[in-house]
Structure 1
Amino acid sequence: MLRKIFRRWTGPEEVGKVKLIVGLGNPGKQYEHTRHNIGFEVIDELSREFSIPLDQSKFKGLYGIGFYKGEKILLLKPLTYMNLSGESIRAAVDYYQIDLEDLVVIYDDLDLPVGKIRLRQKGSPGGHNGIKSTVAHLGTQQFNRIRIGIDRPEKGMSVPDYVLGRFRQDELMTQAEAVKKSAGACEAWLEKPFLEVMNEYNQ
C-alpha cells in the first residue's frame, strides 16, 4: 500500500479524489518540442483528448482540472525547470491530498530507443534530474511513471546538448506515436489499476 503524503488543507473547495498526471519538461519557447520536453507533449495530447484546457497557474506550474469517464483529473506541467520538478509535484499532491497510487509522472529516457515506452511503479531516477527532484520531494521512489525513449546521443555529443535538442526529421513520426501511446496508457489507467496497464503496455 503506497503511503499518503499530504499537508492537510481546509477551505471552501471540496478536494475529493483526484488523479494527477504530470509531464516533465522545461518552460519557454526555446525548449518546445525538444527531447527533454516530451512529457509536456503528452500532457498537451491529454488536454486535447480529455477537453481539459491547461489554463490555470498554481503549484509552480501550469495545469488544468476536469472530469473524464467519471474520474477527476489534474493535468500538470511544472514550470520550475526540470531540476526542480519535484517542488511543483509535491505542492499539487499536498493541496489535493493525493495518494501516490493516484499519481503518474511522464518523462524522457535516454536508455530506451526513440518511440519505446516503459511503465514502472517504482525505481531509481537513473540520472534524470526531474525524477531525482521528484523522489527528493516525495520522499520515495515508489510512484507510477511512464518513461518515453529518446535514445542516447552519438559519440562526441554531450547529453545536455542532446536532450535539449529536437528530434531528427526521421524520428518525428515515431516520437509522435510514442506520445499518443503514452496518452493511451494514461487513459487506460483511469479505468483499471496501473499494474494492469503496465503489463499491457510493456509487452
Structure 2
Amino acid sequence: MKCIVGLGNPGKKYEDTRHNVGFMMIDELVGRHNWSLDKKKFNGLYAMEHYQSDKVILLKPQTYMNLSGESIRPLMDFYNIDLEDVLIIYDDLDLPTGKIRLRQKGGHGGHNGVRSAIDHLGTKEFKRIRIGIGRPTSPIPVVDYVLGSFPKEEHEAVGSSIKLAADACEAWLNTPFIDVMNEYNN
C-alpha cells in the first residue's frame, strides 16, 4: 500500500492559497479517478482507493500546516505503511511558479509542514514532490505571501504544475521513484 500526502491548511479561508498546492494536487487525483476523501481519522481527511492493482491512500492532514506530522505518522502506523511507500507533496518558495522537483530525501528548507513531518517520521529520508510557488517580488512577509492566492497571470502555470505532480504520483504507483524522478525532473 502506498500513501500520497498533500500538505496544506484546512478551511475555506486557505483553499486557494499558495500554501495549499499539496491539497490541490490531492484534489486533482481525486477528480481524475472519481475517488472521494470520505474518511475522517488521524486528524485528516483521507481516501483508500485502488489504482490499477495497487491500494493507495490519499491524505490531507487537517492539523494545519505546522502540525502535519501529527496526521501522517498515526495513519502510517495504523495501516503499517513503510516510509519507502510515502510521498509528500508541498509548496516551495525556492522553485519558480509552475515548476516541480522530486527528491528522495532532504531537509525542511524552512517549511514548517515538512519540519513537522521530519519530526514525526524521525527522518529526512522520505519521498517528496515540491511544487514551486516562487518568492515574493515585493517586500511582503513570507507568511502573508504563502497564505495569499495566486494572481491570475500564474493560474495556468500553477494548474500545469499540479497536473504534472499528479502525473508523477500516478507514475510512482507502479514505477520505481528513481525512474519517476529521472522523467519528471527534466
- TM normalised by structure 2 equals 0.99
Q: Which amino acid in 1 is paired with 2:169?
A: C
Instruction: State the Cα distance separating 1:189 from its structure 2 match.
Output: 0.5
Moved over 2 A (4+): none
User: In 2, distance between residues paired with 1:146 and 1:26?
Assistant: 17
Q: Equivalent residue for 2:64?
A: 81
Alpha carbon RMSD of aligned pairs, Å?
0.6
Q: Which runs of 5+ in 1 are unaligned?
A: 1-17
SS in 2 for 1:154: coil
Matches within 5 A, 1:98-177: 98-177=81-160
Instruction: State the Cα distance separating 1:52 from its structure 2 match.
Output: 1.8
What number of residue pairs does the alignment pair up?
Answer: 186
Q: Equivalent residue for 1:67?
A: 50
| Structure 2 residue 34 is the aligned partner of structure 1 residue 34 | no
| Structure 2 residue 15 is the aligned partner of structure 1 residue 22 | no
SS in 1 for 2:68: helix
Q: Which amino acid in 2 is paired with 1:89?
A: I
Q: Which amino acid in 1 is paired with 2:131?
A: I
Residues 54-78 of structure 1: CA deviation (Å, up to 9, x unaligned): 0110110001111011110100000
Q: Equivalent residue for 1:178?
A: 161
- TM normalised by structure 1 equals 0.90
Residues 37-94 of structure 1: CA deviation (Å, up to 9, x unaligned): 0000000011112322001101100011110111101000000000000010001110
Q: Which amino acid in 2 is paired with 1:68?
A: Y
User: In 2, distance between residues paired with 1:21 and 1:135?
Assistant: 16
Q: Which amino acid in 2 is paired with 1:94?
A: D
SS in 2 for 1:66: strand
Match of 1:192 among 158, 175, 180: 175
Question: Identity over the aligned pairs, expressed in percent?
Answer: 61
User: In 1, distance between residues paired with 2:72 and 2:5?
Assistant: 8
